[in-house]
Amino acid sequence: MIKPLLDRVTVPLEQALAEAKLKPEDIDTIEMVGGCTRVPILKEKISEFFGKPLSFTLNQDEAVARGCAFSCAILSPVFRVRDFAVHDIVNYPIEFTWEQAPEIPDEATSLTVFNKGNVMPSTKILTFYRKQPFDIEARYAKPEGLPGKANPWIGRFSVKGVTPGADDDFATCKLRARLNLHGVLNIESGYYVEDVEVEEPIPEKEGEATDTDAPNGEAAEGKPKMRKVKKQVRKGDLPISSGTAGLDPATKERLSEKENSMFMEDKLVADTEDKKNELESHIYELRDKIDGVYSEFASEDEKTKLKAKLDETEDWLYEDGEDTTKAVYISKMDDIRFIAGPIIQRHAEKVEAERMAVLKAQEEAAARKRAEQEAAKQSATPPAAADAEMKDADAASNGQKDGDGDELMPEVEEAS
């Protein structure tokens, strides 16, 4: 049944060896990662291909994920990890295409710039001879090798500001194409150069003077011989505008709606599972409490009805209710709460009454304590202070004066 699949196992192995220009006997160790590699017949097929036993020293499920996390930590400025060099390569070759210049009939119109296996990041300089602005396009060179139905077109780059050179000659335009660490292609910059004639000294090995070369046997003068050479000198920048592959608004809207729909479906599945677990937990909790903390708050008839409802719901949950909708679980929960609600309410009222009684007792105790502290404070006041206050009051009454400033004397009346 799985023979057609097993026959395909060795195809990527042969391709990998061919690209690496190696033979099976050149391989020292075959390390297995990934959950599917645990299939016995698959391991046997791979071991047979290489003629060596397989190695399982890594965590097959987490090796790739941990490697990705470590690579992220290397790139992040927040983490500091050991220095490792990670070299990624181009998996799908990238080519540039352009329209042929009318003045150059034999000019090629395409070039594969980044070949498969090219290490990233990578920068290439493209040279064009033009008299006017031009466009170039980037695309994957082998669309048939792309996964799924991926669009092979990458982008279009418009080079502006190109004008003819001296004597209406071609301008030499150079474009800097870069494939960054993440595999993103871009034309970073463009500039044009001109050939300028400059003088430079001739190296001694080419123009070394000897005594016999000098007239009348005189030694050659110290001046070095010069020659004129042409060099390319950067003269100015070329503006570049880019346009990359994108989706039309209608497609974006459709995909956005599809993503939202999938999100809501996932959320509904999670919510349904939560309600199912909540119903199951509620059944176990009530069954335990009805003969415990809720026992004194329920009549025998209420206990009988609640237990029967719990048993009925539990049986349904493990049979017809194993896979149903969120609304059904909520409905079953409401049925249980309709019976258990009054019992739970009575228990809650008693708990609240006990809590309020405790708070009242604490407040009364605190009030008594404050009264005792105040009484103790007053009883601790020294008697001397009270006597001093009385003396001051007597002195004030004995020292009163009349309106003329004379001291008032106490009146004495004779008894008749």
Q: Name the residue type at position 116.
A: K
Residues 233 and 100 in one domain: yes
Work out the pLDDT band at 413, boundaries 50, 70, 90: very low
Residues 327 and 351 in one domain: yes
Work out the pLDDT band at 2, boundaries 50, 70, 90: confident
Percent of the chain topping pLDDT 90: 52
Provide the CATH number for the domain around residue 302.
Answer: 1.20.1270.10
Separation of alpha carbons 315 and 385, rounded Å: 85
pLDDT, one tens digit per residue, over 90-138 is: 999 999 999 988 888 888 899 999 999 899 999 999 999 998 999 999 9
**CA-wise closest residue to 173 among 139, 137, 138, 133:** 133
For residue 410, the model assigns a pLDDT of 43
Residues 109 and 230 in one domain: yes
Boundary (domain end) residue, out of 361, 376, 408? 361
Work out the pLDDT band at 149, boundaries 50, 70, 90: confident
- DSSP states along 117-153: T-EESEEEEEEEEESS-EEEEEEES-GGGSSTT---E
Work out the pLDDT band at 323, boundaries 50, 70, 90: confident
For residue 85, the model assigns a pLDDT of 82
* Domain around 151: 94-202+224-244
Residues 328 and 297 in one domain: yes
The β-bridge relationship of strands 134-140 and 153-159 is antiparallel
For residue 243, the model assigns a pLDDT of 85
pLDDT, one tens digit per residue, over 217-269 is: 444 555 677 777 767 777 889 999 988 777 778 888 999 999 999 999 999 99
Work out the pLDDT band at 397, boundaries 50, 70, 90: low
Residue 344 clears pLDDT 90, i.e. is over it: yes
Percent of the chain topping pLDDT 70: 85
Boundary (domain end) residue, out of 211, 244, 277? 244
* 211 assigned to some structural domain: no
More confident residue, 386 or 247: 247
* 373 assigned to some structural domain: no
Residues 64 and 105 in one domain: no
Region 278-296: mean pLDDT is 92
* 40 assigned to some structural domain: yes
Separation of alpha carbons 324 and 335, rounded Å: 17
For residue 71, the model assigns a pLDDT of 87
Domain count, the chain: 3
Provide the CATH number for the domain around residue 182.
Answer: 2.60.34.10
Count Cα atoms within 13 angstroms, Cβ side, for 401.
5
Separation of alpha carbons 400 and 146, rounded Å: 119
Work out the pLDDT band at 351, boundaries 50, 70, 90: very high
Residues 162 and 237 in one domain: yes
pLDDT, one tens digit per residue, over 190-203 is: 998 887 766 777 77
Residues 47 and 159 in one domain: no
For residue 388, the model assigns a pLDDT of 57
* 398 assigned to some structural domain: no
Residue at token pair 């309600």: 275
* 132 assigned to some structural domain: yes
* 397 assigned to some structural domain: no
More confident residue, 343 or 103: 343
Provide the CATH number for the domain around residue 15.
Answer: 3.30.420.40
Region 208-213: mean pLDDT is 50
* 384 assigned to some structural domain: no
Residues 98 and 191 in one domain: yes
3-state helix, strand, coil in the chain (%, to 5): 45, 20, 35
Residues 262 and 228 in one domain: no
Residues 255 and 340 in one domain: yes
**Angle formed by the axes of helices 249-289 and 326-379, nearest 10°:** 60
Query: What tokens does 244 get?
Result: 């990359």
Residues 70 and 99 in one domain: no
Whether 41 contacts 72, CB under 8 Å:
no
Residue 408 clears pLDDT 50, i.e. is over it: no
For residue 412, the model assigns a pLDDT of 42
pLDDT, one tens digit per residue, over 290-310 is: 989 999 999 999 999 999 999
More confident residue, 233 or 283: 283
Region 403-409: mean pLDDT is 49
Residues 112 and 18 in one domain: no
* 183 assigned to some structural domain: yes
